[in-house]
Amino acid sequence: MTYIGRSTLSDYEREKTDINFENIEKIAEACNYDVLFVSKKDSNHILSSKNIDRKEI
């Protein structure tokens, strides 16, 4: 579903490899979860990866 290799997922779980945001989104989507961003200044201000406009750096 995610096209992320089993060994790569295992490396993420064992913290041998850092995960990038694209793969976080793929895993969340496959598990039917949203990635949420909560403001440290205002915990009522929550954004979802589905409704946020961002640019890759």
Question: What mean pLDDT is reported for the chain?
Answer: 86
By residue count, the chain amounts to: 57
Please say whether the beta carbons of 34 and 49 come within 8 A: yes
Q: Does the predicted TM-score (pTM) go above 0.85?
A: no
Distance CA 5, CA 35 (A): 21
Q: How far is CA 37 from the centre of its chain?
A: 10
On the question of pLDDT at 54 being above 70, the answer is no
3-class DSSP assignment, residue 30: helix
Mind listing the pLDDT tens digit for each residue in 7-34? 999 999 999 999 998 999 999 999 999 8
Cα dihedral: 35, 42, 45, 30 (round 10): 10
Average pLDDT over residues 24-48: 86
pLDDT at 47: 76
Report domain extents, the chain.
Answer: 6-48
